[in-house]
Amino acid sequence: MELQFLGTSSGTPTKNRNVAGLALRLDGGGWVLVDCGEGTQHRLLQTSLSLHTLQAIFITHLHGDHCYGLPGLLASAGMASRTAPLTLVGPAALETYVAGVMASTGLHLPYDIVFVPVEQVADSLALPDLAVAATPLSHRVPSWAYRFAERSVERRLDTAKLRAEAVPAGPLWGRLQDGADVTLADGRVLRPADYLLPARKPRALVIAGDNDSPELLAGAMRGAHVLVHEATYTQAVLEKVGPGPQHSSARMVATFAAAAGVANLVLTHFSPRYQDGSGPSSLGELADEARAHYGGPLFLAADLARYRVERDGTLLALDQS
């Protein structure tokens, strides 16, 4: 499981940051997209991701910096000769929005779009590798967080036990790992349950839309390894701006993450007022504020930054290829 950020600015892009978009790469080669702000498909051209292996698009909410890039991406997928159906998950107005753009611009796609209302995602969406659930958040329009968890995990063989019992390595081991009984030449019958080590915990992560109440994610974070959440402002700026925009500060998210025992915290969706680097009005302010309240692994996302969720739940920063 790998995360690759396609946009980390809120509201409007900056010279270095696009608006919201995040790809979740899967072990099998497919991927899903969370939000699709304007310019997302241009960012995709700077990655190895293909619109042919895109399995689903999840929209957290229908503010423009999270969805204005969607019609163009859908059109590009059609021009790239995609024929496989594509699932779109989001608030009910998502279907109206996409249908309106298609009708008014004469957009005809060579593939079917399957709309799944966000409230039904846990019961209606069947991705091969992921179980998905959604949590309602607090924002000016209906906004949601998505929890993605592995559907199944590999089981490792107890090779020491097999060797101790003189079971020859090779195809027999593979059959046991696949869950099949094995009969040896001497007549012994081996059951997989006797030679498979306990399964590891499925990897899970939560990607939140805009939200002024991080505590709403307490239930979704149980058993999850990573939280990706907006940190639009520092607390001081948030207090000057007031509650109207309904965003979170770095302090708010970090305080929640510490209380909830979040294993890895990734902040994103930064106001354009914050520039790269340190000093006043910089991302360093957001980082310092978050670290003052959260002692776990903390990452401030950058466009095209990649992170891998290891099988033990550790989050590692990768290169930006």
DSSP 92: T
Q: How many whole angstroms separate alpha carbon 135 and alpha carbon 147?
A: 8
Three-class DSSP category at 100: helix
CA distances from 114 to 111, 204, 302 (A): 10, 25, 31
Cα separation, 140 vs 104, in Å, equals 27
Contacts of 185 (CB under 8 A, 6+ apart): none
The active-site residue, picked from 35, 65, 212, 303, is: 65
Per-residue burial over 204-222, b if 16 or more Cβ lie within 10 Å, else e, is bbbbbbbbbebebbeebbe
Half-sphere exposure of 77 (CA within 13 A, CB side): 29
Our answer to whether residue 123 is catalytic in this structure is no
> In Å, what is the CA distance from 243 to each residue of 10, 80, 283?
16, 43, 21
Compute the C-alpha angle 277/231/32, nearest 5°.
Answer: 100
Residues noted as catalytic: 65
